Each structure stands twice: as C-alpha cells, then as structure tokens.
A and B are shown apart, each in its own frame.
Chain A
C-alpha cells in the first residue's frame, strides 16, 4: 500500500503524478482510496470484474448492497445506464454534486456493481482530482465509502487506518490523503426509475372515438379552489342515486395541482362527510363512512401516484353498491381496473381537468359506457 499526500501547496507539481499513480493502480485491478466532497471513497475500475471482486472482499459482508459508481459526465453515464428524462434533468442542472442518481443499469458493468434487472446509482463528484482520474482512466470507478462494512465513514486517513484491520488493508493499493475532510453528509440518493415520465404524464386515459366526440354530462371552468369543490359536489349530486344499485367510480385525470383533491372534497361534502378529505397520495387509500338514511356506504379515495402493485390494494373488494370511489392517477393501472369495473358493474365517470389559463381550469365529466374506456398503449 502506498500513501500520497494531496497537499494544496504541492498540487501544482505533484498533481499529475498522483493522477498517474491512481490510474496505474486502477488499470492493474487495484483499489484506490480517494477524497470526495462527502467522505473518503474507494475506487475500483467498475468495469473490471477482478477489481470489483477485490473490492467486495475488502468491504466484506455486503450481501447485495448496491455500490454506486462515479462518472465524468452524463455522456459517460449513458454507456452504463439508461438515462431517462428525469435523470437527464438532474445531470444537466445539478451535477456535479452530492447527489446519487439511480437509473436502470445496462449490462456493461462488472457483476456486483449491477446485476440482472437491477438499478445503478451514479455520481459525478464535485472534486476535480477525482474527475481527472476518471477522465484519464476512461471508465467509471466505484464510489462507495472507503470504510469496511459496519465501520464509520472515513473523513480522516489516520483514524481510518487505526479502525481497519490489517487483513482488509492488505487489499488497498493506494491512498490519496487530502487531510481531514469536512464531515459532510453522504450523498442524497434519488431514484429516477420510479414513476417514469410516460406513466406519470397525466391524461393518458383515452376514450373510444364516439365517446370523445360526445358531450360531457357536466362541465365547468373554475377560477378558485372553492369553485372546484362545488363542481365536485355537483357531480356527486348528479349521480346521487347510482350507489343504491352499483358502485360509483370517478376517475380523475389532470396534472399535479389541477384541483383533484378539491373536487374530492366536494364529493365528500355532498355525501355529508364532515371529516377533512385530505390528499391520499401518501396513504394511497383513505376510507370515509357516510350515512344519509337510506343512502349509506363508504367513500374510498385512492391515489395511484406512489402505488407499485395494483393487486395489493384489493380494490375489487370495495367495488360494491353503496360505495363511491374516487381514483387519482388512474392511468397507472387502468387495464387492471377495467376488469374490476366489469365484474362489479361499476358506473364510471371520467373527469378531465385541463388548464384553461394561468389561473383557471376547465373540468369536464364524461359518463363511460361499457367498452368505451380504452387502454392507451402509446
């Protein structure tokens, strides 16, 4: 193991040498400890299987914990991961910096860094020396913290050497010592593989031709939240007798902030529910009882935004007479729901929210007949 000091004053003369030493070690499947803006990291050539195996032996007891990688820029990242629109936005606007961007991995990295159907975390360290090493190497390096499993993240090389047993240290080829690093938090991990853009763009529910050409049963242009609440109430009033015979389902389509929760408040108000109807985004499903004499049942308020498995929710058990369901982000599991609508003979109302101007929105409600609701595959 070789230890070199990265002293600010010496940088001009020794910087080139340090980069060469690091690249040389990495090319020989070696492990290099290097400074970053968060803590000391450990580098192996992320495309070199022998190097990654050595890293896993050094770390010990990893059991499939992900190892992130550091790249030079977005174009290098594209060689190793599928960079979608969200990931691109983060690369373009906020990197380099302490953010690890999780994307779907391509099959171009050594096993243990990524594996079949797995994701990969990618960073661009805000530390010029590291970027120069990656540039010279021409390939990504691993960006996991330099400590062995269960030891503290290292900010100080002397302390790290004391804490790390010799049998682990023997795997290390080079340490680039930049003194005591500022104890910054580890990088923020952001997953860009969830809720991918195509799924999450609203308004993908499409109707068969004759439906989209027909007139809405109700429509309004609202300028204030209270008006959207009132329009929700009007919709419930229009279909107030439906739950006596069959479940009533409102599918809401509209962008974030379009007024979907306000609409739902109106439906709840019309049913005489006095509890506060809140956004169900985090709870996924909220349940409210209503009782107006011969009309009684549940209002089920659902939001698919954070849901990743439709069947778990067992929504079919709630599709029965008496119940009113409001479903936000319904596009996400539309095809799964079609079957449940069918079996429960649900009455389905599709409510479409569209911005009209910077302060107003148009809301149109369509009554859906059997076979009119189609899954958009595009």
Chain B
C-alpha cells in the first residue's frame, strides 16, 4: 500500500493547522485551537492576532510530527494552502512551508483550500477506516456535487473527476455561516454563535414535538427561493432578522419568550435555501452520482440531516467527512495533496518553492499551479 508521507499546512484564516498523511491515511492532525496555547494568549477562540505569531506554527508543526511519530526527514512532500483566505493569514503558512521545503529539500505542493474541503471524505482515519459506503471505488462517486458551506463560503461545485471542478453556484453577499454568527450576535449569543443557535433549536425541538407548527410565525424569507439560478444570498435574511428582532424587543416581550422559536425558524429557512439549490443542481446535472458536504456549517446536525435526506431521496450517495475534517484543518489539505501526488504532480522544487504566492480570492477551477 502507498505510504508516501505528506506534511500539510493550513493557515487560511484564524486556525493554524498541520497534519501528516501516510498515503491516504491521516496519521496526525493538529489545530492550534485545540493544543495548549491557551495560557500564552488567553481566550479559547482562534484569533488572527494570535495566529500571526510564528511560534504558534512552529509549535503546531512539532506537535504534528511528534503525534505522527515522525521526523522531518521521513516526509516526502510538503503541502500548503495558498488560497482562498486572508492574505496576512495565508502568508504565515506559506512562508513556513516554503522555508521548510527548501531547507529540507522537499517538493512543495500548493493546494486550494476548497479542494481540501471537497476531497476530505476520501481520507482514511489513523486506523485506516473510511467514511465511504462499502464496495465502491473512489471513481464511482464521480461526477460529484459538493455543497461547501462555512463562515466564509457557500458554494455548489460540480466535480467531474478529482482535479476537475466548476463552481456552479455561490453566495452573492454573505456566507451562510457568517449569517449564523451575525444573527446570533443580534440575539446576544456571544461567539461563535452558530453552535448556540444549534443547541437552542435542538433543545426546542426535543421539548416541542409539534415544533413544525410554529415555523412561519416570524415570516422569515427563504433566501433566493425563486431566483431561478444556483446562487445563494443571506444578507436579505439577515436584514429581515434584524427588523424582526427589533420589532419583538420593542413590543417588550422577553427574549426568552421567543428566541427559541425564532432560532428554530431561522435554521429551517437556511436549510430550505440550501435544499432548494441542491435539488435544482442535482436536477440540472443528472450525471452526478454523489453529494459531498464540507465546511463548518456542516457541523450542524440539523442541516446535515436535511441535506442527507434530500441526497438519498434523489438516489445519490451522501459523502460526509468526519466531523473534525469539516471545519478548517490541515488533514483535508493533506488529502488533496495525496490525490495530486497520486495523479503525477511532482510539486515545486529547490528555489522554485519561493515562486508560490498566496491568492486570497482563489476559486475552484482557477488554480494557477
């Protein structure tokens, strides 16, 4: 079995992450937010300021090697995210990767962050286990439709095969995860707000078995329902929430009286907006054999369940990466690099590694390397 060792680095936003692959097997996957940097910087939520400190990446890198039981000499390739993302954040990982590759004479593989999300269900965990349905080859899942939804992105991607992608729908303004955070903010939920909304809705639904009858009370609009294309938009929903919350507060009713129901309806309209577009995309591309999901919003089990139900009802395999591979991480970058190497990519060598520049607004299908 292939046991090429790839060390992958991801710093596109506020997370600093390093992972190691042995073939398709993810043997080490370390995030700065989960290692013990707390005392140093205070706070538990990742932050741009904290990540910019280069000693963070050094620490995460060493921890990844140690957990993988490897030395840098054992590594065959270095992989790094070069976009999309925040320029100053991408630079941290890119410079570290360039120096690491050059100093240790390893080829450097540039990876598009979104390709990482898209290929993450094809990782094997450290025990060699897969999340894929049994009895199929990876190529049997393609063409695939990926629905990638995070704080930063809301995209539908048609993947003809590994390495061949086209963005067929995207948000025109806010990403769905961003809207979650902002509406949570309006509700005074703290940061990150998405998981709190999810918690509130789960509890509400378990205590109110007939919760469906309360949906529609706040008249929240399902975004882009009739737009006729595959694009998304969440700024109108956000504005509708702002006015509704204002109206409720001005009427003098306590938040605790309505916030539960409000969150319940909010999740429902977001899910509907995703379902409507996915359904339209699957109808438009009947050759698609599987639906792949990724991104932080796909940690929300209510959303995942809805998308899974829809995919199966349309006779598509539903590929869902392990939970820790859905939010930003370096494991997914390693998986994408694995497939590039397997496809014959040899990477940048020697001084050429320094020719790689970050591309903050990189899109799938626009890769320059």
Show the binding face of A for B, using Cβ within 8 Å. 62-66, 85-87, 89-90, 92-94, 97-99, 101-102, 115, 117-119, 121, 188-195, 200, 225, 255-259, 261-262, 265, 275-276, 278-279, 281-287, 306-309, 312-314, 355, 358-359
B39-A191 in contact (CB<8A): no
B190's partner among A86, A265, A287 (CB-CB below 8 A) is: A86
Is B168 an interface residue when CB atoms closer than 8 A count as contact? no
Q: Is there an interface contact between B43 and A99, defined as CB atoms closer than 8 Å?
A: no
**Interface size, B (range):** 35 or more
| A283 CA to B86 CA, complexed, in Å | 5
B186 at the interface (CB under 8 A from A): yes
- Once the chains are docked, how many angstroms separate the CA of A101 from the CA of B188? 12
B342 interface hit (Cβ, 8 Å):
no
Contacting pair B52 A312 (CB below 8 A): yes
Q: In whole angstroms, what is the CA distance A306 to B185 when docked?
A: 12
Contact status of A63 and B39, CB under 8 A, knowing A93-B259, A284-B48:
yes
Contact of A286 among B13, B191, B361 (CB under 8 A): B361
Nearest Cβ distance between residue A252 and chain B, in whole angstroms? 14
Residues of B237-260 at the interface with A, using a CB-CB cut-off of 8 Å, are 238-243, 246-247, 255-256, 259
Stretch at the interface among B72-80, B98-106, B194-202: B194-202
Task: Let me know if B190 and A90 touch, CB within 8 A.
Answer: yes
Of the residues B175, B182, B255, contact of A256 by C-beta under 8 Å: B182
Is B88 in the interface zone, CB < 8 Å from A?
Answer: yes
Q: Across the interface, which residues of B come within 8 angstroms of A314, CB to CB?
A: 88
Q: Is there a chain A Cβ closer than 8 Å to B174's Cβ?
A: yes
Q: Are A89 and B174 in contact (CB under 8 A)?
A: no
Top 4 nearest A-B pairs (CB, nearest first) are: A64-B39, A257-B242, A89-B188, A190-B190
Q: Is A307's CB under 8 angstroms from B48's CB? A: yes
Q: How far is the CB of B318 from chain A (nearest CB, A)?
A: 21
Report if A282-B48 is in contact (Cβ < 8 Å); known contacts: A64-B40, A257-B239: no
Find out whether the CB atom of A119 lies under 8 angstroms from the CB atom of B42: yes
Name 17 interchain pairs, CB-CB below 8 A, sorted by A.
Answer: A62-B36, A63-B36, A64-B36, A64-B37, A92-B256, A97-B199, A119-B44, A191-B191, A195-B191, A259-B239, A261-B173, A261-B174, A279-B174, A281-B151, A283-B360, A308-B49, A313-B88
How far is B246's CA from A358's CA once the two chains are assembled, in angstroms?
9
Q: Is B339 an interface residue (CB 8 A)?
A: no
Instruction: Point out the residue from A99, A118, A261 that lies within 8 Å of B235, measured CB to CB.
Output: A261
Query: Which A residues touch B170, using CB under 8 A?
Result: 276
User: Is there contact, CB below 8 Å, between A286 and B360?
Assistant: yes
A85, A102, A278, A287: the one within 8 Å of B188 (CB): A85
Contact of B200 (CB < 8 Å), options: A63, A94, A200, A282: A94
B contact residues around A62 at 8 Å (CB): 36
Q: Which residue of A lies closest to B259 (CB)?
A: A93
